[in-house]
Each structure stands twice: as C-alpha cells, then as structure tokens.
Amino acid sequence: MMIEGLHFEPLLGLLQGANWLDTATYWLVFVVIVVLIVASIIGQTLKRQPESVVSPALLRTFNQRVRAWWMMFAILAAGLLLGYTCTIVLFGFVSFWALREFITMTPTRRGDHRTLFWVFFVFTPLQYLLVGVGNSFVKLESASAIWWADTLNLEGIDLYGLYSIMIPVYASLYIPARIALSGDARRFLERSAKIQFSLLICVYSLSYAPALAHLDLLTSKQAVSNTSSTTDDAPPSQDTEEETTDAEAQTSTTRRKWKEGGRAGLLFYFILIVQLSDIFQYAWGKLLGQRVIAPQINASRTWEGFVGGVLTTAIVGALLWWVTPFRIWEAACMAFVTAVMGSAGGMTMSAIKRDRGVSDTGTLVQGHAGVLDRIDSICFAAPVFFHLTRYFFSDLA
Amino acid sequence: MSLTASILSVLAKLLAGSSVRWVDCQPDTCQRVYFANHTSHLDALVLWASLPRNIRMLTRAVAAKDYWDKSALRRYIAGSVNALLIDRENIKVHRSPVELMIQAIGDTHSLIVFPEGGRNASDEMGTFKSGLYYLGKKRPDLELVPVYIDNLNRVLPRGEFLPVPLLSCITIGPPMWLEAGESKTEFLKRAREAVKRLKDI
C-alpha cells in the first residue's frame, strides 16, 4: 500500500486506516440520503402544483435549501469516502472560499493587500496542514510518521498545542505588524480586527470540525454486546480489536477505546446536528415565533424558535447517539451545546451582514447565498464541540 | 482558441471569482466595443474571460504596448489571448490608435477598451479619452457597450504582483451609440455616466 522511502505521508496527514468508516456511519449517511430524497420530492411536487398551500416564497427558500444541503452532503460524503486527507483538504477549500467571501464583503485598504496574501496563502494552508498532521507523531502508526519523528526529533509531539494557538496568537500578532509595515495608519485598529476576525471565523474555527477526526475517542458506553444492535453490525475485522480493548478496559478503567471507524461518523454527526438545529430553529420560529430576539439584527430569529430548535436538536441528537461515543444523555448535552453555539454563529453573521448592508455573502450582487451563509453556525459550534469531545471523550495521554 | 488562452481564462475566472451580469444587454456576436473602467492589470483578461466562448473568440482586448511588449512572458500572454497592442507613446499621424483599431477589427471582431487610458489609482473613475468618440464616429454601426468592473482592483491593485483571490463582479450594460450632433465632451461624459450607473444596479 505504501511505497518505501516516500515520507510525505504524515505531512499530508494520511491517517486513514482500513476502518475509517464504520457501519453505524453508513447507516446515518443512508438515513440522510433518504431524508434528502423525500425533501426533494416534496419540494418538487409542491412546485408543480399551481394552487399550493404554502407560499411561493417559502417554497422557493425550501427548494434552495434542499439544493444547498445536497451540495453540502455531497462534499462531506465525498470527503469521508475518500478518507481523512481528502476531508481535511475539502474543509480547507471551504475555509478558503468562505474567507474569500468574508474579505470581499469587508472593505480593506490598499495597504492590506500583502497581509491578505499571507492570510490566504500562508495561514490558511498552514492551519489545515497542522490539523491534518494532528497527533500522528504521538501515535506513530505509519512508517513515514516514524521517519519524520526520528529525523526532526518530533516524537510525542501533538500538534494540537500549535494549531490551537497558531491563528489566535501568532497570526493575530503578525497581521497588525504586517499592516503597519505597509505604512498606512488610517483606521488601523479596525482593519487589523477585520482581518483577524475573518481568519478566526472562516479558518481557525472551521478547522476544528475535521480535527475531530484525529481524536482517539473514549467511550463510557457498556461493552458492545450490551449496546444497541446497530453497533453490533461492525465488520468482522473489527471484532478482534474490540475484544482486546474490552479486555484492557476491564482491567484498567471503566472507559474503553471507541472504534477507529467511529471518527468519520462523529464528524458527520456534528455537521448533521448543526444543520438540523438551523432547520428546527427556522421551523419553530415560523410556527410559534412571537418575540424577536433582536429586530435590528435579524427579524426572523425568535426566542420561541431558539428554545424550540435547541430542545428539538437535543432530542434528535440523543436519538442519534448510536453513531457517537456518547451515551444517550451525553449526546443530548452535546447536541444542546452545539445548537446554542450554532445559533450564536447565525446571529453574529447576521449582525456582520447587517452592518455591511448585505443580505447574503455569496456574491457582490444580492440574490443567492454563499458558502459563508451556510457554514456560519458550523464555524461557531466546531471549536466547542471539538474541545468538549477532546476533554471528556478522548485519550489525552 | 489555443490551449494557453483556455487555461488563462479559466485561471482568471477562478482567481477573480467573477460573477457576470448582463443588464439590458444580451451576449451577441455582432461587432461591439466593450468599454470599461480600468483599475487592475487583470481587467482586460478577466473581462475577456467572462464573455461566452464564441464571443470571446471574436473579441480583442486593446492593451498598452509599452506594458505588454516588455517581456517574453507578457508578449506570450498578450499573443495567446489575441490582444491588440497599441503604442501609447509614438503616435503617427496616419496610424493613430483609432485607425489601427478599426483596421484590426475589420467586419467581424469586437473590441475591449479602457477609455480612462491608464489604470486608475483612486476610487473615482477618471475622465474618458477621446478614442471612444472617434471609434463611434468612424464606425457608427458598432454597438458601444458599457461595462463596470467591480472589486478587481482589490484582487490585484496597482503596483502589486501577487493577487489576492477575492470575488469580483462584471456588469455589462445596454449598448449606446453616438447621437446625431452630439459633441465630443457630451458623448464622453454620457459614456462615463453609463459605466458609473452600472455600479449601483
């Protein structure tokens, strides 16, 4: 499988083992496809009927949303099927595109040009490179990771320590310094803040989503035989591994290693929960929405929608616990936090768009929404979801 | 179209992330003069690349010879996109830029021109040079099409050589002609307004 002497592998973050996707993840992907097909059929059927019960504007939004979900699903599924490296690269491109939309929407001055070049072509790729390599120098599974670790004395170094501060510390210090070098002091603080913020939201925060896929997950769930039937469907190749880890778990701690194949599933679960929380908040807001949270920011976000959406997301997140290393109540809590953060992200981006006087971020022209409009909630939820998972459900040793 | 030209136009579109809007104007292979505001070296290439393929093959961008003839690479790029290089410095009496343009387009090609002359450093559009007027006067059959190029100056501003891939927008407006009895100043002012108006549409 691997050519001897080719040592680029860890740098590219090729961590994908044979069991990157497990049966539970395939099930979840299958369920999502079915739901999307049903949604598409409903949308198209209603569109064909001239006298329909729903308003045309609502229907148009619905159909646009369904198209966007298909797109998002296709990208995510392609990344997951092709493996860890491709997932990292795809998220990198999404970040790049979102950053492009963000900076386009934000006025910068001529003096910021070279700083922006650094932001796009140095910090963005570097962040994803660091996330991609992740903890492969701790685990040292591949021959090339061992080679790099030996040569550069990197053994045991988890790049979490670097990628979690690279942008908030080093890039944030570099950006104002580089702008100062350009010799244009007008609105200096404002310009620095704009570029720092866009990098933080579009690149740093989003990169925590694919970073989920290199955590060594732990679970407090009961042994496989006692849990739900779905996790029993694991392919036979994993059974031996499960047994050995079970044996270890019984002797050492109450927590066991979660299956390798569950990592991609956790990423998929996270994205799904954020999207569902957007949908539920919208739906509850339409159904019961009375009290608008902040009319100046976004006229369609209501307290009813927020509370209803967050609670529904927590329930659905709990029902999907079988994909994750979480127990049912843990899954409910994680989904709850994710939904709250997602909502905060939506509100924040609304405020920015309102300030800039645009309704969508996609093009300079008003009309159709861009990537940033679709991922704002993911950006806000990803770091929190990642850190909670890392502290409570992963092997930090 | 050569392979280089195809690659260049794909690259230009990717880099400038341009969305193209045709406002009260349809893509057509009839002879036209697209005139646009000029803020970046990429203007001509991106505008050229955003025309539909069949029109692009019939359209030549007018570019400054002193810039595009300087190095082998620039000459190669200008040659592969079939740009029309005009000498801004030694203008001869019987071979004025307008004469050369009219000669070059014959009765099939269209042109892309930047009537401000050079690239504009400030946000405000400069005054138009008279070439557009003489083009309209000598060839009244040409459709003069205003184009507004937005945000490309942030992708590659004057004096920079590394581009930053922001999103830009190209708005192509309704054709206009030289009115009977319209003076040069009046026409150039009207043409400039036509470009400026597209900014806010």
Nearest residue of chain B to residue A99 (CA atoms): B166
Q: How far apart are CA A162 and CA B161, in angstroms?
A: 31
What's the confidence (pLDDT) of residue A120? 96
What's the confidence (pLDDT) of residue B93? 67
**Cβ contact (<8 Å) for A365 and B17?**
no
Residue A287 lies in a domain: yes
Q: Does B21 touch chain A (CB under 8 A)?
A: yes
The pLDDT-based confidence of B31 (bands split at 50, 70, 90) is: very high
Domain count for chain B, please give it.
1
Residue A3 lies in a domain: no
User: Quick check: B48 and B59 in contact, CB under 8 A?
Assistant: yes
Burial environment of residue A375 by CB neighbours within 10 A (0 to 12, 13 to 18, 19 or more): buried
Which residues 90-129 in chain A show a CB within 8 A of chain B? 100-101, 103-104, 108, 110, 113-114, 116-117, 120
**Cβ contact (<8 Å) for B164 and A104?**
no
**Cβ contact (<8 Å) for B165 and A120?**
yes
Residues 6+ apart with CB under 8 A from A20: A80, A83, A84, A260, A261, A263, A264
Chain A residues within 8 A of B165 when measuring between CB atoms: 100, 120
Residue A18 lies in a domain: no
How many CB pairs below 8 A link A and B?
38
**Least CB-CB distance to B154: which of A108, A114, A365?**
A108
Residues A190 and A230 in one domain: no
Residues A222 and A256 in one domain: yes
Q: Provide the CATH number for the domain around residue B176.
A: 3.40.1130.10
Q: How far apart are CA B35 and CA B116, in angstroms?
A: 9
Closest Cα in chain B, distance from residue A72 (Å): 20
Residue with tokens 């069949």: B54
Residue A204 lies in a domain: yes
Domain count for chain A, please give it.
2
What's the confidence (pLDDT) of residue A300? 86
What's the confidence (pLDDT) of residue A135? 82
Residues 6+ apart with CB under 8 A from A368: A64, A360, A362
**Cβ contact (<8 Å) for B164 and A113?**
yes
Residue closest to B150 by CA, chosen among B50, B45, B38 = B38
Chain B residues within 8 A of A114 when measuring between CB atoms: 160, 162
Residues A101 and A118 in one domain: yes
What's the confidence (pLDDT) of residue A223? 55
Residues A208 and A267 in one domain: no
Nearest residue of chain B to residue A103 (CA atoms): B166
Highest mean pLDDT among A379-393, B12-26, B58-72, B117-131: A379-393
- The residue among A183, A214, A245 that closes a domain is A214
Which residues 144-183 in chain B show a CB within 8 A of chain A? 150-151, 154, 157, 160, 162-169
**Cβ contact (<8 Å) for A363 and B151?**
no
Mutate to test the interface with A, among B14, B154, B155, B198 (most CBs of A within 10 A): B154
What's the confidence (pLDDT) of residue A333? 96
Chain B residues within 8 A of A363 when measuring between CB atoms: 19, 167, 169
Give the burial string for A170-181 (b: 16+ CB within 10 Å, else e).
ebbebbbebbee
Nearest residue of chain B to residue A362 (CA atoms): B167
What's the confidence (pLDDT) of residue B117? 74
What's the confidence (pLDDT) of residue B120? 63
Residues A282 and A200 in one domain: no
Domain that holds residue B81: 3-200
Domain that holds residue A158: 88-214
* ipTM for this prediction: 0.84
Chain B residues within 8 A of A116 when measuring between CB atoms: 164
What's the confidence (pLDDT) of residue A216? 84
Residues A193 and A339 in one domain: no
User: Quick check: B24 and B75 in contact, CB under 8 A?
Assistant: no
Q: Report the pLDDT averaged over residues B134-152.
A: 91
**Cβ contact (<8 Å) for A363 and B167?**
yes
Residues A176 and A319 in one domain: no
User: Quick check: B38 and B119 in contact, CB under 8 A?
Assistant: yes
User: Quick check: B84 and B111 in contact, CB under 8 A?
Assistant: yes
What's the confidence (pLDDT) of residue A2? 42
Closest Cα in chain A, distance from residue B41 (Å): 15
Residue closest to B38 by CA, chosen among B131, B100, B102 = B131
Residue A46 lies in a domain: no
Phi-psi region of B119 (alpha: psi -120 to 50; beta: other; left: phi over 0): beta
Residue A289 lies in a domain: yes
Query: Would you state the structure tokens that stand for residue A17, as one six-digit string?
Result: 């083992």
**Cβ contact (<8 Å) for A364 and B167?**
yes
Residues A371 and A225 in one domain: yes
Q: How far apart are CA A195 and CA A236, in angstroms?
A: 50
- The residue among A192, A214, A236 that closes a domain is A214
Helices (H), chain A: 9-12, 23-48, 56-82, 84-105, 113-118, 124-133, 136-139, 143-152, 160-163, 172-181, 188-199, 206-211, 229-232, 236-251, 262-288, 303-319, 328-356, 371-393
Residue A232 lies in a domain: yes
* Residue B1: pLDDT over 50: yes
Residues A373 and A386 in one domain: yes
Q: How far apart are CA A180 and CA A173, in angstroms?
A: 11
**Cβ contact (<8 Å) for A116 and B164?**
yes
Residues A220 and A346 in one domain: yes
Compute φ and ψ for B43, nearest 5 degrees. -45, -55
Torsion angle of the four alpha carbons A203, A207, A208, A213, in this order, in degrees rounded to the nearest 10: 180
Chain B residues within 8 A of A124 when measuring between CB atoms: none
Chain A residues within 8 A of B19 when measuring between CB atoms: 363-365
What's the confidence (pLDDT) of residue B97? 84
Residues A98 and A184 in one domain: yes
What's the confidence (pLDDT) of residue B121? 62
Closest Cα in chain B, distance from residue A20 (Å): 33
Whether this model's pTM surpasses 0.90: no
**Cβ contact (<8 Å) for B164 and A101?**
no
Chain A residues within 8 A of B164 when measuring between CB atoms: 103, 113, 116-117, 120
- The residue among A179, A199, A214 that closes a domain is A214
**Least CB-CB distance to B169: which of A103, A114, A364?**
A364
Residues A195 and A238 in one domain: no
Q: How far apart are CA A364 and CA A367, in angstroms?
A: 9
What's the confidence (pLDDT) of residue A232? 43
**Could you state, in chain order, the average pLDDT of each consecutive group of 10 residues for chain A (397 residues)?**
43 46 84 92 83 75 84 85 88 93 88 93 96 84 80 84 94 96 91 95 96 86 50 44 47 69 87 93 90 88 94 95 91 96 93 81 55 90 95 82
**Amino acid at site B34:** Y
